[in-house]
Amino acid sequence: MRAEAVTVTVNGRAEEADPGETVESLLDRLGLAARYALVERNGEPVERGRYGEVALEDGDSLVVARPVAGG
């Protein structure tokens, strides 16, 4: 029996995730290159090296930003 999906908010948009899904797998699924993305989870920055360890929980709010070079 499959566990219920959790709902997280990514940049103001609701997304479903599998229980235990990590920040890294969510970014990959959404087509956002994890190695370039900056992520805040519930207002706290997530260290890039921990993206594969941080499991998403129902109700999490993520802000994902991708730095843009310019000048």
Residue 36 included in any domain: yes
pLDDT at position 2 is 54
Average pLDDT over residues 17-22: 93
Query: From CA 24, how far away is CA 50, in angstroms rounded?
Result: 8
The total domain count for the chain is 1
Residue 69 included in any domain: no
Band (pLDDT 50/70/90 cuts) for residue 69 is confident
Nearest to 38 by CA among 67, 60, 15: 67
Q: Look up the CATH number of the domain holding residue 15.
A: 3.10.20.30
Nearest to 56 by CA among 28, 71, 68: 28
Domain interval for residue 37: 6-58
Statement: residue 54 has pLDDT above 50: yes
Compute the Cα dihedral for 25, 4, 14, 47 and give only its sign. negative
Global confidence as pTM = 0.85
Residue 67 included in any domain: no
